[in-house]
């Protein structure tokens, strides 16, 4: 019965720790940019896989999230924009964060003397991304990311936020799967990361997971399954590990593989950039779905 994000959503990333200077094309912010509706394809532009369902786009993935409504039957916003970003490259709160000290990092970002992030409790999402050398409470063992809202007693405002960690050095087999595989499964081969960075490509799906849940359950009182709102099962939790048709158990489902470099992905963004993002629960069909489904 709680609110969902029906007005234009602005995502404010906070880059915490050391992020190597990457060319903009490899920037982990990219999946967010690709939620903007795609321009119409140019008929003269050669598509490498004309038979490969070109509608399998990041914005088509977001269409499933948009099916959720608030009590007035308003759908979740179609527009997700990248807002102001903050770099916290000097580890303002150290290299080991707890769930509570994450809120201190967000407070520092919105109260900073230079270029503070705008405070937008109604439609802002604050996305804390920690670099590979930052330890976070429950990271790797239980979670690869989570979302919640800030406490006015700490931050001064109730702001929906998510944290996602770069697992490249701490636990790629659990948080960057399938681009890295757990050591306890012998003979399992990792898939090739579509953007060439195991840690960042692994974060992409977790970012998608958390943003979908933030949009549908920003204050943890809207859309979730199960009896316990303090440990809710949300729209992406229901589809954990499912990335394509037939997915379930240890099978990820039917994915696409690029014939040129062997990279595995299930959706395409602007400019042909490829991503692997898990599916989310479709409230109309009552099962997990995504834009690369074979039965659409």
Residue 86, domain member (yes or no):
yes
- Whether the predicted pLDDT of 273 surpasses 50: yes
Structure-token pair, residue 174: 């659990």
Mean pLDDT of 125-144: 97
Share of the chain above pLDDT 70, in %: 89
Q: In angstroms, rounded to a whole number, what is the distance separating the alpha carbons of residues 19 and 100?
A: 23
Q: In angstroms, rounded to a whole number, what is the distance separating the alpha carbons of residues 209 and 50?
A: 28
Neighbouring-strand partners of residue 143: 139
Residue 200, domain extent: 9-289
pLDDT in tens, 205-217: 999 999 999 999 9
Using pLDDT thresholds of 50, 70 and 90, give the confidence band for residue 272.
confident
pLDDT in tens, 158-190: 999 999 999 999 999 999 999 999 988 888 899
Residue 294, domain member (yes or no):
no
Kindly list the distances between the CA atom of residue 276 and the CA atoms of 75, 230, 241, in Å, as whole numbers in the listed order.
25, 29, 11
Residue 4, domain member (yes or no):
no
pTM for the model stands at 0.90
Any residues with CB less than 8 A from the CB of 31 and at least 6 apart, and which?
58, 204, 207, 208, 269, 275, 277
Q: What are phi and psi of 30, to 5 degrees?
A: -55, -40
- Whether the predicted pLDDT of 241 surpasses 80: yes
Residue 141, domain member (yes or no):
yes
Residue 98, domain member (yes or no):
yes
- In angstroms and rounded to an integer, the radius of gyration of the C-alpha atoms of the chain is 18
Looking at residue 258, what DSSP letter applies? -
Q: In angstroms, rounded to a whole number, what is the distance separating the alpha carbons of residues 253 and 292?
A: 10
Q: What are phi and psi of 50, to 5 degrees?
A: -60, -25
Residue 3, domain member (yes or no):
no
Which of 20-24, 228-232, 245-249 has the least mean pLDDT?
20-24
Q: In angstroms, rounded to a whole number, what is the distance separating the alpha carbons of residues 278 and 276?
A: 7
Q: In angstroms, rounded to a whole number, what is the distance separating the alpha carbons of residues 176 and 143?
A: 12
Structure-token pair, residue 224: 């979730």
Question: How many domains in the chain?
Answer: 1
Q: In angstroms, rounded to a whole number, what is the distance separating the alpha carbons of residues 229 and 208?
A: 21
Residue 170, domain member (yes or no):
yes
Predicted confidence at residue 85, as pLDDT, reads: 94
| SS3 of residue 257 by DSSP | strand
Residue 13, domain member (yes or no):
yes
Q: What are phi and psi of 268, to 5 degrees?
A: -125, 140
Kindly list the distances between the CA atom of residue 213 and the CA atoms of 3, 88, 160, 163, in Å, as whole numbers in the listed order.
12, 25, 10, 12
């Amino acid at each position: 019965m709680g609110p969902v994000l029906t007005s234009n959503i602005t995502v404010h990333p906070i880059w915490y720790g050391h992020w190597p200077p990457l060319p903009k094309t490899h920037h982990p912010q990219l999946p967010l940019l690709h939620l903007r509706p795609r321009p119409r394809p140019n008929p003269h532009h050669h598509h490498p896989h004309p038979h490969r369902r070109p509608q399998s786009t990041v914005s088509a993935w977001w269409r499933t999230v948009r099916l959720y409504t608030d009590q007035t039957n308003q759908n979740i916003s179609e527009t997700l924009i990248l807002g102001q970003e903050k770099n916290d490259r000097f580890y303002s709160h150290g290299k080991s964060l707890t769930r509570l000290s994450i809120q201190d990092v967000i407070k520092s970002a919105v109260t900073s003397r230079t270029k503070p992030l705008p405070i937008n409790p109604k439609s802002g999402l604050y996305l804390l991304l920690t670099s590979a050398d930052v330890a976070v409470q429950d990271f790797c063992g239980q979670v690869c990311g989570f979302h919640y809202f800030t406490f006015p007693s700490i931050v001064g405002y109730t702001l929906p936020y998510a944290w996602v960690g770069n697992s490249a050095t701490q636990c790629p087999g659990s948080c960057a799967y399938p681009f890295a595989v757990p050591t306890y499964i012998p003979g399992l081969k990792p898939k090739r990361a579509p953007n060439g960075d195991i840690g960042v490509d692994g974060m992409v799906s977790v970012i998608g997971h958390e943003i979908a849940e933030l949009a549908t359950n920003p204050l943890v009182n809207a859309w979730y399954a199960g009896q316990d709102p303090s440990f809710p099962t949300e729209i992406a939790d229901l589809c954990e590990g499912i990335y394509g048709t037939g997915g379930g158990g240890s099978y990820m489902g039917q994915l696409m593989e690029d014939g040129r470099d062997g990279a595995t992905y299930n959706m395409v963004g602007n400019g042909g950039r490829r991503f692997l993002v898990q599916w989310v629960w479709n409230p109309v069909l009552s099962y997990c779905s995504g834009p690369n489904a074979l039965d659409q």
